[in-house]
Amino acid sequence: MRDGEQTPGVSLEPEKKVWIARNLDALGVDVIEAGSAVTSEGERDGIRAVVKENLKAEICSFARIVKGDIDYAIDCGVDSVHLVVPVSDLHIEQKLKKDRETVKSNAIEMVEYAKKHGLIVELSGEDASRADLDYVIDVFKAGVEAGADRLCFCDTVGVLRPEGTYDIFRRLVTELRVPVSIHCHDDFGLATANTLAALKAGASQAHVTMNGVGERAGNTPLEEVAIALKYLYNVNTRIVLENLYPTSKLVSRLMGVPVAPNKSLVGDNAFVHESGIHVHGLMANTATYEPITPETIGRKRQIVLGKHAGRSTVEMALQGLGLTATGQQLDEITKRVKCLGDKGKHVTDADLMSIADSVLGRNTEARIKLIDCTILSGNHATPTSSVKITIDGQEVVESGVGVGPVDAALNALRKSVSGVADIKLDEYRVEAITGGTDALVDVWVKMSRDGRVISARGSGPDIIMASVQAFVEGMNRLIQEKNGIVKKP
User: Considering the domain boundaries, does residue 488 fall inside one?
Assistant: no
Strand 452-460 relative to strand 302-303, pairing: unpaired
User: Considering the domain boundaries, does residue 489 fall inside one?
Assistant: no
Q: Tell me which H or E stretch contains 244.
A: helix 244-255
- pLDDT digits over 346-375, tens only? 788 778 887 888 788 766 678 899 999 999
Residues 330 and 372 placed together within one structural domain of the fold: no
Evaluate if residue 60 carries a pLDDT over 90: yes
pLDDT score at 1: 85
Listed range (110-119, 215-224, 383-392, 411-420) with the worst mean pLDDT:
411-420
Evaluate if residue 440 carries a pLDDT over 80: no
Helix (H, G, I), strand (E, B) or coil at 152: strand
Residues 330 and 374 placed together within one structural domain of the fold: no
Residues 76 and 133 placed together within one structural domain of the fold: yes
User: Considering the domain boundaries, does residue 166 fall inside one?
Assistant: yes
Give the pLDDT band (50/70/90) at residue 485. Answer: very low
d(CA 449, CA 445): 13
Listed range (99-108, 227-236, 301-310) with the worst mean pLDDT:
301-310
The larger pLDDT score, comparing residue 158 to residue 287, is at: 158
Listed range (282-286, 392-396, 416-420) with the worst mean pLDDT:
282-286
The Cα angle at residue 371 between residues 367 and 377, in degrees rounded to 5: 125
- CA–CA distances in Å: residue 380 to residues 376, 402, 405, 463, 473: 11, 14, 13, 21, 32
Listed range (139-143, 326-330, 363-367, 422-426) with the worst mean pLDDT:
363-367
Give the pLDDT band (50/70/90) at residue 161. Answer: very high
pLDDT score at 453: 81
Residues 278 and 386 placed together within one structural domain of the fold: no
- Residue at a domain's end among 360, 387, 419: 360
Strand 205-207 relative to strand 180-184, pairing: parallel
pLDDT score at 151: 98
**Residue 128: exposure state from Cβ atoms within 10 A (0-12, 13-18, ≥19):** buried
Residues 141 and 215 placed together within one structural domain of the fold: yes
The larger pLDDT score, comparing residue 309 to residue 406, is at: 406
Question: What is the number of domains present in the chain?
Answer: 3
Residues 392 and 325 placed together within one structural domain of the fold: no
Strand 150-155 relative to strand 31-36, pairing: unpaired
- Measured from the Cβ of residue 365, the count of other Cβ atoms closer than 10 Å reads 10
- pLDDT digits over 17-47, tens only? 999 999 999 999 999 999 999 999 999 999 9
- Residue at a domain's end among 360, 381, 402: 360
Residues 334 and 189 placed together within one structural domain of the fold: no
Residues 355 and 383 placed together within one structural domain of the fold: no
Determine the structural domain holding residue 277 and report its residue range. Answer: 272-360
Residues 101 and 216 placed together within one structural domain of the fold: yes
DSSP 8-state class, residue 209:
B
8 Å CB contact between 437 and 380: no
User: Considering the domain boundaries, does residue 263 fall inside one?
Assistant: no
- CATH number, domain of 145, equals 3.20.20.70
pTM, two decimal places: 0.81
The larger pLDDT score, comparing residue 251 to residue 314, is at: 251
Give the pLDDT band (50/70/90) at residue 487. Answer: very low
Residues 248 and 328 placed together within one structural domain of the fold: no
8 Å CB contact between 421 and 479: yes
d(CA 55, CA 40): 23
pLDDT score at 482: 52
Listed range (117-131, 164-178, 228-242, 435-449) with the worst mean pLDDT:
435-449
- CA–CA distances in Å: residue 457 to residues 104, 352, 427: 61, 11, 12
8 Å CB contact between 379 and 362: no
Evaluate if residue 345 carries a pLDDT over 80: no
Give the pLDDT band (50/70/90) at residue 420. Answer: confident
Residues 355 and 377 placed together within one structural domain of the fold: no
**Residue 285: exposure state from Cβ atoms within 10 A (0-12, 13-18, ≥19):** exposed
Residues 382 and 355 placed together within one structural domain of the fold: no
The larger pLDDT score, comparing residue 173 to residue 342, is at: 173
- Residue at a domain's end among 255, 281, 298: 255
Report the candidate in 457, 219, 250 with the shortest Cα–Cα distance to residue 341: 457
Alpha-helical regions (H) of 370-427: 405-416
- CATH number, domain of 381, equals 3.30.160.270
User: Considering the domain boundaries, does residue 266 fall inside one?
Assistant: no
Give the pLDDT band (50/70/90) at residue 215. Answer: very high
Q: In what order do the strands lie in the sheet with 441-449?
A: 424-433, 441-449, 452-460
User: Considering the domain boundaries, does residue 267 fall inside one?
Assistant: no
Mean pLDDT, the chain, rounded, equals 91
The larger pLDDT score, comparing residue 151 to residue 283, is at: 151
- pLDDT digits over 262-309, tens only? 999 999 889 988 776 777 788 788 898 899 999 999 998 877 788 888
